[in-house]
Structure 1
Amino acid sequence: MFHYNNQTASEIGVDFSKNAIRGLLLCGPPGTGKAYLAQVDANEAQVPFAYASAPSFQNMFFGVGNLKVMGLYKKARKLAKVYGACIIFIDEIDAIGMSRGAGSAGGGLGGLMGMGGSGLLNELLLQMDPPNMDNNGFAKLLRSLRLRKKKAERLAVLTIGATNLPDVLDTALLRPGRFDRKLWVDAPDYDGRVDIFQYYLEKVTRDPELTPERVALDTIGYSPAQIKHIVNESVVIAHQRGASVTKYEDFRAAMETYEWGLKQPLRSMSEDERRNVAYHEAGHAVAQFLLKPQERLWKVTIIRRGDALGLAATKPTHDRYNRSDSEMLAEIRVCLAARAVEEEFLGKKLNGVNSDLRQATQLAGAYLGAVGMGEELFSWLAIGSPEEGLKALRPKINELLNNEMNKVKKLVTKHSDFVHAIATQLLKRGDLTGEEIEAIYLGLYGEKRPAAQDAMIHREIFSSLSEAASAKEMVDKAELDS
């Protein structure tokens, strides 16, 4: 990772032995392989590797944690003298490296009892960037007798820290000379997931349809640890059904169990309540299918999983890193589609939309008050209080939600046959896959799912006449240019 060619460096007048990088901070979500990356780096450099968990330094007796840190770095320097360098990896470094201004982290009973506090952090800061002092007693004796003239040797000890919360770390840890570099270890992209699946699936007796390329598309956003877990769970599911070969259906079942929880059917639910849930989820499914062409419908179910009586889920068609205004509005309509179907098809309002309305309100607030997609460029992020921003924008948020509700009502009414067909099949079978829903749409309308909408169709998303007029000019100009 940070290995240098000293011969090349000397040609340009740089001595990396005296100016070696002292620290590297690995940041990223859990399970992305930060500890494994540090271990691989030590193996590549052919130097000793020491692993320590930051919480293990904490102790109920004052000063014990400091001694542990001192002992770790003392041993690392001895090894560095023998092997040329040594790498120390400290996992969950935020446990002892939190900012000293963050409440009780700087003292109090926890600091006095050795549970961390500024004392342990100060010791870590000192050991990571120590003063130039001799490391053994004989050298110190020669120095005191003025018989040792050369500068004290600075041994190459690289500290690699890992954390999920880099923002809470003390600024003294992040300065040059301690954590000189910061590396973000994120979830793997498509190519990375294919490589990881190839490694794990080689160990599994699997059906030819269970390919790394196929499952890599299903696991966008998954970490390597999650991928390993899903592969193992799919093998368990295959074993439970008495099969010797793991199929794609087993992998899919493992993903659904991991993301949503185990199936827990409610046998006592009345037919009327099942019908309510079926139409509720059918509303979401129709809106997702027609309004989100950049995503594929994964599954719709009215079988309870976790605390949800039913759900309609989509998966991205590819790795994505941003969203447009039209996509945010489409997401709001998807949230409101269940209430629209309840009013238009059932003639009543149900209490199952509380999470839908909350999400729609948050999206509308972000649309208007965070990312500047409305008439104003004001962002509540500047004042650091989304709650105050939501209160200030409440009239505009409510207006936007009502406009989107009217649009999604027209959508589900226009495709009433589609809504009824999905709800009927859900009542019969309990759940439907995205492929089965696409087959229903093809049977009803004789065509496949609508492709991604272009700028001309998106004229309807604008909430003001001025925005619509400017959009029309943009589209007309594009038509003339083409």
Structure 2
Amino acid sequence: MAIIALVVYSWSSQNSGQEAMTINQVADEIKRGQIAKIVQDETRLRITKTDGTQNTSNMDANASMVEQFLQLGVTADQLSPAAIQLEIKPPSPWLNVMTFASYVLPFLILAGAFFFIFRQAQGSNNAAMSFGKSRARMFAGDQPTVTFADVAGVEESKEELREVVEFLREPQKFIALGARIPKGVLLVGPPGTGKTLLAKAVSGEAGVPFFSISGSEFVEMFVGVGASRVRDLFDQAKRHSPCIIFVDEIDAVGRQRGAGLGGSHDEREQTLNQMLVEMDGFDTDTNIIIMAATNRPDILDPALLRPGRFDRRVVLDRPDVRGREAILKVHVKGKPLEPNVDLASIARSTPGFVGADIENLVNEAAILAARRNKKVITQEEFEESIERVIAGPERKSRLISAEEKRIIAYHEAGHAVVMNALPEADPVQKITIVSRGMAGGYTLSRPAEDRILMSRKKLIAEMISLLGGRAAEELVFDDITSGASNDIERVTQMARTMVTRLGMSDEMGPMVYGQKEELIFLGREISEQRDYSEAVAQKIDAQVRALVSEAHQQAKALLTQYRAELDGVAELLLEKETITREEFEAVFPTPQPKHSGTPVMLAGNN
């Protein structure tokens, strides 16, 4: 502020509305009676003439204003109050401050610049010295934010981890019997199943220090830094023993050695080697439990998974219907729900969903209720949020012609009629020709219960259902469109899997054809090793083509048989755009009892 004031003062003292007068010019104007008022401010004179114009001038600081005018020939009468008004302002107290600041401030600025430079250099030295230090975050565990009560749908996994908690609370009970608690626990499961959340719950239940770090935080571009950070992490853990070390996404550092690029001095391999030594080296008398999470256990180094390191593998699979209902109950806590919301029905409608998907579903339902200015979340919001999570938001603004709308209606009606006619297919839940995501319309089915095993009849029924849309286009319009592209892709992949992987072809027999190959350091399948001849390849292609062709013919036969129902469903779709299960069955009652199975959303006109 002082610098700004100094600059403003200097600028204002050097600039005025017009060119300043000399002291001699001011004296001549006084003699001619042209000056009405003079105000002295230090050595600066502000002059007001008789015609109202103003100007400025500067005077000598060694003499007074009156003395200088008298020396220049101005008489005392011309300086009398009757002739001219003279005003002398007292010296400003800020003048000395400004003068002092103009001398001192440059030195202060220079000193501050040197201090900042030295401080930065010192911080760089500290950062260089701490480059090999662990970046793990420690949580005390005395005030847990997550416990086992906050984790649902993984009851078996929680039961296994209770042993870890009990050992950390009462280690002497196990030591007295000569028992050795597993040193490492590997949490394995698809993304979103709650591996990190379960590790936090173990920390909250045990009430011990909890070190959390990601596998990627070990590896740097400089060789040896990762190994140094591993050593520092375990040194910190030993000082706070008993404790838990949690390494999230351990596959970033624990991939198989010798499978990547670089030699024995590869940074990632050195980091892994140091971790192996720390987990089961000479110094093993420590109450430290290492927990790690990954969704790719197949690419981890075998030395990392052997007994003595990661002894126990806890699998977190996709939850079943009861698990999904329990997860729903956890996520709806604190949210206002309408009394008639049926969480069991929502759980049945979300097979294959993991914990993260269900959390997103509940959040989407809350957002929809807020956008509709509702005070509570209703069943309608939950059902719509399921479709938003699966297929995306509705695209009602998408403009399509009447002819295309009719094609989409018959396409989706074809899916629904075929599914309803097949006893092995899942019951139709909803049909719509309102666009969502990339789909022009879709048919949603919901199984009565979850299914782990897929029978051949079930897979064939799903293939026929997928081809129902294309068959309806051929039957009604005597033409085909690109709307069935995704259906055809899925059917082809399903048929090839049945022949080459599941042994569901009578001619090819119960054999697996082709071995998948992948690069470990990429974690991606890059090729398939053909362990069969060209003649066998031709037979495989013929079997795949036969399965797809047979499914297509059966779809056309069913739609020909139920042509009246197909027309009725399509006309209802054109009228209402979206029809429910009850409205669909009013047009086409189920011919026979339906079997349950894995759900499927048949998207048309992609």
CA shift, 1:23, in A, is 0.7
Partner deviation per Cα, 1:61-103 (whole Å, 9 max, x = no partner): 33222222211111111111xxxx2111110111111112333
Partner deviation per Cα, 1:278-334 (whole Å, 9 max, x = no partner): 111111111222225562323222222222222222222211101111111101111
Pair 1:251-2:382 in alignment: yes
Output the CA distance in 1 between the equivalents of 2:413 and 2:173. 66
Pair 1:451-2:593 in alignment: yes
Name the counterpart of 1:58: 219
**1:124 is aligned with what amino acid?**
M
Output the CA distance in 2 between the equivalents of 1:352 and 1:64. 54
Superposed, which structure 2 residues align to 1:193-232 within 5 Å? 193-232=324-363
Name the counterpart of 1:380: 512
Q: Alpha carbons of 1:419 and 1:120: their partners in 2 closer, same or farther (altered >3 Å)?
A: same
Output the CA distance in 2 between the equivalents of 1:268 and 1:195. 41
Q: Alpha carbons of 1:123 and 1:392: their partners in 2 closer, same or farther (altered >3 Å)?
A: farther
Name the counterpart of 2:365: 234
Superposed, which structure 2 residues align to 1:31-42 within 5 Å? 31-42=192-203
Output the CA distance in 2 between the equivalents of 1:177 and 1:328. 43
Name the counterpart of 1:25: 186
Output the CA distance in 2 between the equivalents of 1:93 and 1:404. 44
Partner deviation per Cα, 1:138-170 (whole Å, 9 max, x = no partner): xxxxxxxxxxxxxxx611211111001111111
Contact persistence 2:429–2:580 (CA under 8 A): yes
Contact persistence 1:266–1:304 (CA under 8 A): no
Output the CA distance in 2 between the equivalents of 1:239 and 1:56. 39
Name the counterpart of 1:461: none
Q: Alpha carbons of 1:253 and 1:349: their partners in 2 closer, same or farther (altered >3 Å)?
A: same
Output the CA distance in 2 between the equivalents of 1:206 and 1:185. 29
Partner deviation per Cα, 1:356-412 (whole Å, 9 max, x = no partner): 222212222222332222214243356444987765411122222222222221111
Name the counterpart of 2:257: 100
Output the CA distance in 2 between the equivalents of 1:428 and 1:226. 33
SS in 2 for 1:103: coil
CA shift, 1:120, in A, is 1.4
Contact persistence 1:296–1:314 (CA under 8 A): yes
Output the CA distance in 2 between the equivalents of 1:315 and 1:31. 22
Contact persistence 1:201–1:212 (CA under 8 A): no
Name the counterpart of 1:419: 566
SS in 2 for 1:295: coil
Q: Alpha carbons of 1:131 and 1:381: their partners in 2 closer, same or farther (altered >3 Å)?
A: farther
Output the CA distance in 2 between the equivalents of 1:41 and 1:267. 49
Q: Alpha carbons of 1:53 and 1:248: their partners in 2 closer, same or farther (altered >3 Å)?
A: same
Q: Extract unaligned runs of 5+ from structure 1.
A: 133-152, 443-447, 455-482
Q: Which moved more, 1:385-394 or 1:301-310?
A: 385-394
Output the CA distance in 1 between the equivalents of 2:263 and 2:529. 31
Contact persistence 1:365–1:390 (CA under 8 A): no
Contact persistence 1:20–1:156 (CA under 8 A): no
Name the counterpart of 2:416: 285
Superposed, which structure 2 residues align to 1:117-196 within 5 Å? 117-132=268-283, 154-196=285-327
Partner deviation per Cα, 1:41-71 (whole Å, 9 max, x = no partner): 2333332211111112222333222222211
CA shift, 1:31, in A, is 1.5
Output the CA distance in 1 between the equivalents of 2:182 and 2:440. 54
SS in 2 for 1:257: helix
Q: Which moved more, 1:378-387 or 1:162-171?
A: 378-387
Q: Alpha carbons of 1:410 and 1:170: their partners in 2 closer, same or farther (altered >3 Å)?
A: same
Contact persistence 1:438–1:449 (CA under 8 A): no
Q: Alpha carbons of 1:245 and 1:391: their partners in 2 closer, same or farther (altered >3 Å)?
A: farther
The structure with more helix, counted as a fraction of residues: 1
**1:377 is aligned with what amino acid?**
G
Q: Which moved more, 1:310-319 or 1:167-176?
A: 310-319
Aligned length, in residue pairs: 415
CA shift, 1:174, in A, is 0.8
Superposed, which structure 2 residues align to 1:78-97 within 5 Å? 78-80=239-241, 85-97=242-254
Contact persistence 1:292–1:327 (CA under 8 A): no
Contact persistence 1:88–1:157 (CA under 8 A): yes
**1:408 is aligned with what amino acid?**
A
Q: Alpha carbons of 1:15 and 1:252: their partners in 2 closer, same or farther (altered >3 Å)?
A: same
Partner deviation per Cα, 1:216-239 (whole Å, 9 max, x = no partner): 111222112221221121111011
Pair 1:270-2:401 in alignment: yes
CA shift, 1:266, in A, is 5.7
The structure with more strand, counted as a fraction of residues: 2
**2:277 is aligned with what amino acid?**
L
Output the CA distance in 1 between the equivalents of 2:291 and 2:367. 36
Name the counterpart of 1:469: none
Output the CA distance in 1 between the equivalents of 2:462 and 2:537. 18
Pair member with larger Rg: 2
Q: Alpha carbons of 1:449 and 1:157: their partners in 2 closer, same or farther (altered >3 Å)?
A: farther
Moved over 6 A (4+): 5-8, 386-390
Name the counterpart of 2:575: 428
Q: How much is the aligned-residue C-alpha RMSD, in angstroms?
A: 2.5
Contact persistence 1:295–1:314 (CA under 8 A): yes
CA shift, 1:6, in A, is 6.2
Contact persistence 2:425–2:594 (CA under 8 A): yes
SS in 1 for 2:303: coil
Contact persistence 1:286–1:419 (CA under 8 A): yes
**2:248 is aligned with what amino acid?**
D
Output the CA distance in 1 between the equivalents of 2:279 and 2:486. 48
Q: Extract unaligned runs of 5+ from structure 2.
A: 1-160, 517-527, 597-606
Contact persistence 1:89–1:159 (CA under 8 A): yes
Pair 1:15-2:162 in alignment: no
Name the counterpart of 1:346: 477
**2:226 is aligned with what amino acid?**
G
Percent of residue pairs identical: 33
Pair 1:361-2:502 in alignment: no
TM-score normalised by L of structure 2: 0.64
Contact persistence 2:337–2:376 (CA under 8 A): yes
Q: Which moved more, 1:48-57 or 1:283-292?
A: 283-292
Name the counterpart of 1:329: 460
Name the counterpart of 1:409: 556
Output the CA distance in 1 between the equivalents of 2:427 and 2:374. 29
**1:302 is aligned with what amino acid?**
I
Output the CA distance in 1 between the equivalents of 2:580 and 2:208. 52
Contact persistence 1:32–1:223 (CA under 8 A): yes
